[in-house]
Amino acid sequence: MNLKSLSWIALLAISSVSFGQTDKELTDKTVSKEEAFAHLSFLASDELKGRDTPSEGQEIAAKYLATQLALYGVKAFPTLPDFRQRVPFKKIIAPSSGVIAAGGESFSYNTDFLKMTGENIQWSGEVVKLKHATAEEIAGVDVKGKMIVGSCGDGTDPSPQTWFSQSSDKRKAAKAAGAIGLIELYNSPQIPWQLLVRYLSGDRVTLDKGETALTSFWLLDDNKKASIAFENAKSMEINVDGPASGKFTAPNVVGFVEGTDPKLKNEYVVYTAHFDHVGIGQPDAQGDSIYNGARDNAVGAVAVLQAAKNLAKYPTKRSALFVFFTGEEKGLLGSEWFVDNSPLEINKMVYCNNVDGAGYNDVTKVTVIGLERTTAMDNIVAACKTYGLEAIKDPAPEQGLFERSDNVQFAKKGVPAPDFSLGLTAFDAEIQKYYHQAGDHAENMDLAYLHKYWSAYVLTGRMVANAKEKPFWVEGDKYYNAGVELYKK
């Protein structure tokens, strides 16, 4: 797409005047390559030890971000005077052993099944076999005091990433109906079972919402052994042993800048990025065991800092909300908590400008996950074009990337929320070289490219925030109806 094909609205936004200066001129006044790289170098430094949730390094990073917001003149909400929102978490300790027995078959923990949520359990009783154990299926039978068994997903989407989200709805329905627990049968070539074991068999973190989570499992069913066993089973026995769960909190960092327009200042453009990473892990060939997370996602935190600096000095017509999330690497948990416990009403948030990604392999592009899904597309394309970058849409829709970043938590509520990622055209060797690897350092990133990228991000936000019309979902999008409901359109 070239500038001639952009809508006049996007072009007008680029040339709009604030105190006699265009949005681009105001962007260039504050986005400093040297300052931004200093932020990046600190956030991705060895001293922060990978910013795991929870960790001392993450707390230091949160204090640094909050200090920068205060320095720039960003305001704190009265309920969060230190800019930090403490998010309650529960650490699920991995079972030390486990066996599920049904239909004459026996299944072992890790080898055959994984605990997804809830406490350890020793139980025997009646089993209810459903096709997918969706809320609709559960509502049609008596499951009180029983264990529900059904296949992962709902039969309409083969993506395991989607199954994770659907599992949450199933668990809520099962718990409300009085079930003892839920077993979902897993069979997908997209994510091999051993990869799930690698990521889910250890200690894990979940939100502590002050309630006891339903105990649930995913059980391998690649050869239909489990399906056959449960098809004929009337009862079953489960013994999963191990230590009890522990609790802790970790910080989101939150601030705002009021807009200049008497009416539009009641609408907020939200600038978001997660600042956590995966901490310390297996040493690489160089003996480096600190997973610094420069690309994922210190670069995103710096983008939001650059927006905060710019908008505090040169406010837009709409107000600005800045949020740095904890717990993204644990399952988008910090953003999940935030959208349910925000100091600002969700229906005042008209657009979420999220930053997250795995890295880059093309320094001429910005990959925007969900680019074509909202009416902000022209603004995004124009802002990127201004800095010599091409905005492209999701190059790998089969990966379910939109559902794997914090923006989806806003989308579920109805807020238009693309993800502004570094230039990625494929999940190739260049991406894998750094994604969740110890070698992901600030020093091996292209600073000239990052400067253009950060500038395009800030300009995108300014254009959206100064536009006459607020953005919305393209009609027919998955989240269009949620947006209609949220804004009562």
Residue 8 has pLDDT above 70, yes or no: no
Tokens of 464: 């959206």
Residue 1 has pLDDT above 70, yes or no: no
Q: What is the mean pLDDT of residues 3-20?
A: 48
Kindly state the DSSP code that residue 93 receives in the 8-state scheme.
P
* DSSP-assigned states of every residue in 404-467: GSTHHHHHHHT----EEEE--SS--HHHHHHTTSTT--GGGS-HHHHHHHHHHHHHHHHHHHHS
Q: Which residue has the higher pLDDT, 201 or 415?
A: 415
d(CA 131, CA 149): 8
Tokens of 42: 């600190």
d(CA 46, CA 196): 28
pLDDT 10s digits, 82-128:
999 999 999 888 888 999 999 999 999 999 999 998 888 999 999 99
d(CA 140, CA 143): 9
Q: What is the mean pLDDT of residues 33-61?
A: 98
CATH code of 94-244, in short, is 3.50.30.30
Q: What is the mean pLDDT of residues 409-431?
A: 97
Residue 15 has pLDDT above 80, yes or no: no
Three-state DSSP class for 114?
Answer: strand
CB 230 within 8 A of CB 133: no
Residue 124, CA distances (Å) to 119, 147, 170, 223, 418 in order: 16, 9, 21, 25, 46
d(CA 437, CA 449): 21
The pLDDT of residue 19: 54
Residue 316 has pLDDT above 80, yes or no: yes
Enumerate residues 6+ apart whose C-beta is below 8 A from 116. 167, 184, 200, 216, 217, 218
* DSSP-assigned states of every residue in 264-296: GGGSEEEEEEE-----B-S--TTS--B---III
Three-state DSSP class for 56?
Answer: helix
Q: For 3-88+249-487, which CATH class?
A: alpha beta
Kindly indicate the confidence band of residue 355, based on its pLDDT and cuts at 50, 70 and 90. Answer: very high
Q: What is the mean pLDDT of residues 30-55?
A: 98
d(CA 11, CA 6): 7
d(CA 6, CA 152): 43
Kindly indicate the confidence band of residue 332, based on its pLDDT and cuts at 50, 70 and 90. Answer: very high
Q: What is the mean pLDDT of residues 213-236?
A: 93
d(CA 411, CA 404): 12
The pLDDT of residue 210: 85
Domain parsing of the chain, residue ranges: 3-88+249-487, 94-244
Unique residue bearing structure tokens 């060797």: 429
Residue 399 exposure: Cα atoms within 13 Å on the Cβ side: 15
- Rounded to 5°, the CA angle 253-254-255 comes to 135
Helix or strand holding residue 313 (H, E): helix 299-313
Q: What is the mean pLDDT of residues 384-393?
A: 98
Q: What average pLDDT does the chain have? A: 93
HEC states along 342-391? Answer: CCCCHHHEEEEEEECCCCCCCCCEEEEECHHHECCHHHHHHHHHHCCCEE
Dihedral, 102, 107, 112, 117 alpha carbons, nearest 10: 70
pTM metric for this prediction:
0.86
d(CA 377, CA 303): 19
Burial 58-74 (b: 16+ CB within 10 A, else e): bbbbbebbbebbeebeb
Kindly indicate the confidence band of residue 11, based on its pLDDT and cuts at 50, 70 and 90. Answer: very low
d(CA 444, CA 454): 17
